[in-house]
A and B are shown apart, each in its own frame.
Chain A
């Protein structure tokens, strides 16, 4: 009830009914429907099925998508758009820092992400710290405040993760670690302190409970499985180090980038730890990525390891996110798993699979209208919808500017705001 009355939920309930008719529907949760109908009311999907058997409610706005392809809104498990920042260079462990306090919702990156069909993002601080701060899960609603972008739980709390890293990015002069062993030790020390804090918090005698500690509070949420650790890691041994820490502290973790995951698929499968993979055009660029393989998706699929892709935008462009999965198909991944890796697999890694990641009744009406095969270079994102509202339309010249590029597309604020003041 509280959620329904909250300002961020109020708009959705007034939404009219919209029916997408005539197109091929790829629900992800079930087999593709050659000619399907998707019905949306109040920001939620209410029906998905073959056109012949799925009724369009009277009075519904019909959107003819004949010859086009409907897929769920894309889920990007690892993005850096919005110009946000995490922890600073004062120390290697800063779990209290929230990236949501630093993001510019007018950044053109959001418009480009909508142009790429993205609807749910995990926006993260960087990998320069062992713990660089709290990530934030957002919905790409067409809004201009950070609070309105937030993905919230039923109680209205912002949903966030914790960004961690190992390997060379987070190694430098003290107080940062200089070695991999030191990196792990610092993390273990901090989680050990969090355990102690957690224990004391449970003290029956309220007076004996510790003062609030934002750093440890954040880690306790991870220890209790209420917050997912998103862990940057490349080399096979670094991947195994994360699995070891997970074993010791029991946090839930998604491994990110995983250049060498293809070397240890058995370990990953046994641990049941999901991987969010970046697909880039060549190996190298840093030593840890020297053995990057385009076949990582195929290898993880063969091993039964849950696999999603991510943009790491700006490392890869959000507008080309479908391409990441297509290149994985080129290297042997099945089309079915590759589409899952852009949608439901990522949703699971964010604990949002009950709400997004597939076209099913009851889920948020986040969907993308494509001009054709999701994995063709010539396919265009025509429209992107979030919670039953159109947030990108390639036919709108202003939206098209951000889809294609051109003068004004790079400004870090919305085009209509161009004259409000100097850009940075």
Chain B
């Protein structure tokens, strides 16, 4: 009885934020002609030096002006938001949010079908749930774009996609990459199932890519009668060998990273290294190959096994070597069901990266690796108005994300 007022205080403490977010989830895009101005004591545009006391002007969901408040005119009717620090909306360069639901029950786990080892035809957007609670959760911490889709766990588990975290904002890339897993995590489960070894995994991957080459060759036959019947799987492989879709190769051990690079060179395909716990051992090799790395979460549990040699400093090591690097929240099979990429970049910023460098791993560099830098990743006129607002250094544990804007709509405005 006596604790009823306390309970209600507590409920509002614990849930007030969530309720506010739900209320805002639909958002309200800046209507035609309506203008939003976001003013920050520091604006990290990620396109040049940070701007002290700056302002970003937004109309119709796009950025129309960025610069010092003293020189950028803010229309009189603009709705003004203020923050200590303003950054581009954050990009989680690889996750399974929206496919791997927070309850972790069979019915909300759509990130992996293990019935076959090779299924490049599985599309992420056929499984993505834009209203999954973890989408809202990461959005509250400034994440406006996800590279999400099929998880590591089978040799070729399916496609990935790039999508914004507002349910109404739509898909940036319906197919971004095709997920491949080498090493222990890519082994088929069960006796006498292939692939059962590392070497077998690589042999099977090469065989599939060779099929893609062959399908593509036959498809180009001048005689339509001689072209092969349409096949979704071979179609996907053909797009991979044509360089249209990169492979996102999850490989943690140096052995597996080298194998991935070897296969990429053999078939002349584009790959992006994913997780790559031992990439710090192969810096020269990776740089020479010109392959970007979407690195494991900085705080990834090292434990034993594939990631036992992970380091908090790998993001800094790769970046200093000139290797394009983005950070990810990764895949979590238990609690927590997702990490928050803002926190991962924060720990990277405490382990060798400067604040702008660490921000780049979850904004502009992520956008470039994902091929969406024409739309997002920096605050520049003409780009989508996706922003994150903070009441201090974005990476400090005790700072709050105080606002999130997607396509000019305020989708979160309570401190998180």
Contacts and interface: CB of A to CB of B under 8 A. Distances in A.
Interface of A: 262-263, 265-267, 269, 280-287, 289-290, 292-293, 295-296, 298-299, 302-303, 314-315, 317, 320, 323, 326-327, 329-330, 332, 375-378, 380, 404-412, 424
Contacts of A283: 102, 133, 137, 336-337
B13 A282 contact: no
Contact of A284 (B2, B102, B278, B312): B102
Contact of A406 (B103, B133, B311, B349): B311
A141 to B, nearest CB: 23
A412 B304 CA distance: 8
3 smallest CB-CB distances across A and B, nearest first, come from A410-B308, A266-B3, A284-B102
| Number of chain B interface residues as a range | 35 or more
Interface stretch (B41-49, B61-69, B83-91, B393-401): B393-401
B397 A376 contact: yes
B336 A280 contact: yes
B397 A282 contact: no
B168 interface: no
Contacts, number: 150
Nearest to B355: A378
Contacts of B397: 323, 326-327, 329-330, 375-377
Nearest to A270: B3
Nearest to B329: A281
Given A295-B13, A405-B311, A409-B309, 17 more contacts: A262-B13, A265-B7, A267-B3, A281-B339, A282-B337, A282-B338, A282-B340, A284-B104, A286-B103, A293-B15, A302-B10, A375-B398, A377-B397, A378-B350, A380-B350, A404-B311, A410-B308
Contact of B13 (A332, A411, A412): A332
A282 B309 contact: no
A320 B9 CA distance: 30
Interface stretch (B229-237, B240-248, B267-275, B295-303): B295-303
A327 B346 CA distance: 13
Contacts of A375: 397-398
A406 B10 contact: no
23 contacts: A263-B10, A266-B6, A269-B3, A283-B133, A284-B101, A284-B335, A285-B332, A285-B337, A299-B13, A303-B6, A317-B299, A320-B347, A375-B397, A375-B398, A376-B397, A377-B346, A377-B349, A378-B349, A404-B313, A405-B313, A406-B311, A406-B313, A409-B302
B309 A406 contact: yes
Contacts of A262: 10, 13-14
A295 B18 CA distance: 12
Contacts of A286: 103-104, 334-335
B280 interface: yes
A282 B10 contact: no
Given A283-B137, A290-B103, A266 B2 contact: yes
A38 B302 CA distance: 35
Contacts of B312: 404-405
A287 B105 contact: yes
A282 B398 contact: no
B102 A285 contact: yes
B42 to A, nearest CB: 17
A281 B341 CA distance: 10
Chain B: interface secondary structure? loop
Contacts of B11: 263
- The secondary structure that dominates the A interface is loop
Contacts of A280: 335-336
Given A280-B335, A377-B346, A326 B103 contact: no
Contact of B6 (A265, A314, A323): A265
B299 A326 contact: no
B367 interface: no
A424 B299 CA distance: 24
Contacts of A317: 299, 301-302
B134 interface: yes
B10 A289 contact: no
A167 B390 CA distance: 38
B414 interface: no
Which of A303, A330, A411 has the largest count of B CB atoms less than 10 A from its CB?
A330
A285 B336 contact: yes
A286 B334 CA distance: 7
B310 interface: yes
Given A376-B396, A406-B309, A281 B103 contact: no
Given A377-B350, A405-B302, A284 B396 contact: no
Nearest to B10: A299
A284 B134 contact: yes
Interface string B259-287: 00000000000000000001011000000
Contacts of B346: 377
A63 B101 CA distance: 51
Nearest to A279: B336
A323 B309 CA distance: 22
Interface in B75-130: 101-105
Contacts of A376: 396-398
B105 to A, nearest CB: 7
A262 B102 CA distance: 19
B13 A409 contact: no
A263 B280 CA distance: 45
Contacts of A404: 311-313, 351
B351 A281 contact: no
A314 B9 CA distance: 33
Contacts of B339: 281-282
Contacts of B335: 280, 284-286, 289, 292, 315
Contacts of A406: 280, 309, 311, 313
Contacts of A269: 3
B10 A377 contact: no
Contact of B336 (A281, A314, A332): A281
A407 B277 CA distance: 10
A330 B208 CA distance: 49
B398 A326 contact: yes
A149 to B, nearest CB: 20
Query: Which of A282, A289, A290, A407 has the most C-beta atoms of chain B within 10 angstroms of its own C-beta?
Result: A282
A424 B102 CA distance: 33
A24 B184 CA distance: 47
A89 B337 CA distance: 26
Contacts of A327: 397
A269 B2 CA distance: 11
Contacts of A281: 336, 338-340, 343
Contacts of A410: 302-305, 307-310
A282 B347 contact: no
B401 to A, nearest CB: 10
A40 B15 CA distance: 46
